[in-house]
Amino acid sequence: MSSGSPLPPSHDPLKNLYVACDPFQPARDDQYVDTSAARGGSSVVRKLLEHVRFATDDRGYARTFVCALLSGHIGGGKSSELNAFAACLQKPEQSKLAGRYLPIHLNAEDYLDPYDADSEEFFLALVLQLAATLRDQVGIELKENYLVKRWDEIKTFLLTDVELQEGGISLGAAAVKFGRISRDPVARRSVREHLRPRMSSLLTEINQVLEAVRPQLRKKKPKDGGDCYVDVVIIVDDLEKVVRFGEQKSAEDSWRTLFVDRARQLNGLDAHVLYTVPLGLVRACGTELGAIYGRDPVVLPMIKTEERATHHPYAAGLVSLREILRKRAGDTSLDDIFAPEALTWLLDFCGGDVRGLMKFVRAAVTTAAGSQVTLRDAQQALSETISLFSTSIPKARWPKLAALDRSSDQQMDNGDADTQIMLRQLEILEYVNGGDGDDPFAEAAPWYAVHPIVRRLPQFRAAAAALDAQAKLS
């Protein structure tokens, strides 16, 4: 999920905005917006940088290794935050870090089948991403070590006969080929069978390679001509999207196996590491994760667009969303692209879900008959999402959604199986008030709201009316 380079602009502003609003591409440096004011007032990037800063000495060398967890709704903006974090790691003058760090940025979706993943291919993917980044960014080629030998042993499962006959592919160049394992269950099974007996030594050897690479990083000028790197930081994005791990059948059991039962493996790398974890797991057993990893998970809530319980508009959140779109629109004013009521409609009904907003904008510009998106275009842009919510929510969940909306505290029972599903399917969105009061406990505690589209559906209104009628009788 690389954000890639900006494409040449079209003469059509609507086409340019369509391309810029790819829901699966995180924000580039020039598109990033700090939305912390509408996400509880605390910057995710700053939190992660502080973890690294306090774990290192005045030269930037690690005194202890940080293993951090980042969570939030899928599509809520975690990848954009991680891209901004990775950029700051390479700019000590801005980040206040003691030195420049090399991000080893692994997108799990590029390597793993989310419905059939296990530790073997995850750590192999990490090895290949490490080797590729060192080669491409610093010109360091990993040679003559255990990891190279392991690659030589398993590359027959992943390379074509032609590639093997041509001499194979080095470890540093292998990352581009490893994506085949996510599409080939036979190759995946062969790799697992070969690596499983060697997993304990594989982790040890990764750490030995990391230790051997550090002196080279600190001496060798990187290819971009900047200062030498003092260390690496491993960033593993999209790991929360794995829903079948090991032998487990359910997403919840898979998450627990990966992040709790296999925590010693994830926590065993001798490097600063950051993993993305599912929001449902954090809300079900966050204190346990905090104890296992030595620090509580950092959660990125949705951008708050309305006030708790009252549904009154929240100005800071709406401003943040407008700024996100303004940067995507480039040199074209949003006023030229959207009729005022059309933009308001899209911002109100995305619920602060950035990916949802990107999808709505794309649908709206393709619907527009003229050069500007009208209110009717914006309304039609929601039609598919309305249909999906209307048909996918079982009858038994509507009373729970209505009860949440009518509750005074806007809290859900995280022990309820439906809660996990509603969080995952964005029927419920998580927010944090941040500085809205003098009580630090209330300020930091998350709360939940029914997605604004769901609130307008007939099934929800019927469930809410029934709940209101019952309350009057009691």
CATH of the domain at 439: 1.10.10
Q: What is the number of domains present in the chain?
A: 3
The pLDDT value given to residue 2: 44
Distance CA 419, CA 431 (A): 15
Is residue 206 domain-shared with residue 328, that is, in the same domain?
no
Whether the Cβ atoms of residue 325 and residue 357 lie closer than 8 Å to each other? yes
180 and 324 share one domain: no
Residue 377 lies in a domain: yes
Question: Structure pTM?
Answer: 0.91
Give CA–CA dist 204/269, Å, rounded: 8
Q: Which amino acid is at 217?
A: L
Could you tell me if 223 and 256 lie in one domain? yes
Q: Are residues 243 and 331 in the same domain?
A: no
Q: Say if residue 375 is in the same domain as residue 242.
A: no
158 in any annotated domain: yes
pLDDT at 183: 75
**Which pLDDT value is given to residue 450?**
97
Q: What is the rounded distance in angstroms from the CA atom of residue 75 to the CA atom of residue 95?
A: 26
Residue 269 and residue 396 in one domain: no
User: Does 117 fall in a domain?
Assistant: yes
* Boundary-marking domain end, from 271, 300, 329: 300
CB–CB of 45/84 below 8 Å?
yes
248 and 100 share a domain? yes
pLDDT in tens, the chain (474 residues): 444 556 666 689 999 999 999 999 999 999 999 999 999 888 999 999 999 999 999 999 999 999 999 999 999 999 999 999 999 999 999 899 999 999 999 999 888 899 999 998 899 889 888 988 999 999 998 876 657 777 777 777 666 554 555 555 666 666 666 666 667 788 788 888 888 888 888 889 899 999 999 999 999 999 998 999 999 999 999 999 999 998 898 999 999 999 999 999 999 999 999 999 999 999 989 999 999 999 999 999 999 999 998 999 999 999 999 999 999 999 999 999 999 999 999 999 999 999 999 999 999 999 998 889 999 999 999 999 999 999 999 999 999 999 999 998 899 888 788 988 999 999 999 999 865 567 777 778 899 999 999 999 999 999 999 999 998 887
Q: In this structure, are 143 and 286 located in the same domain?
A: yes
On whether residue 250 sits in a domain, the answer given is yes
Of 212, 239, 269, give the one whose Cα is nearest residue 121.
239
Q: How far, in Å, CA of 414 to CA of 410, rounded?
A: 12
At residue 140, the 3 state secondary structure works out as: coil
Q: What is the pLDDT of residue 1?
A: 43
User: Are residue 211 and residue 358 in the same domain, yes or no?
Assistant: no
Q: pLDDT at position 437, please?
A: 61
Same domain, 109 and 247: yes
How far apart are the C-alpha atoms of 304 and 315, rounded to whole Å? Answer: 9
Any domain includes 40? no
Q: Which residues fall within 8 angstroms of residue 407, CB to CB, at 6 or more apart?
A: none
Q: Domain of residue 359: give its range.
A: 315-381
CB burial of residue 225 (10 Å; 0-12, 13-18, 19+) = exposed
For residue 152, the model assigns a pLDDT of: 72
Q: Give the number of residues written for the chain.
A: 474
CA-nearest of 7, 9, 3, 64 to 28 is 3
User: Quick check: is 46 in a domain?
Assistant: no
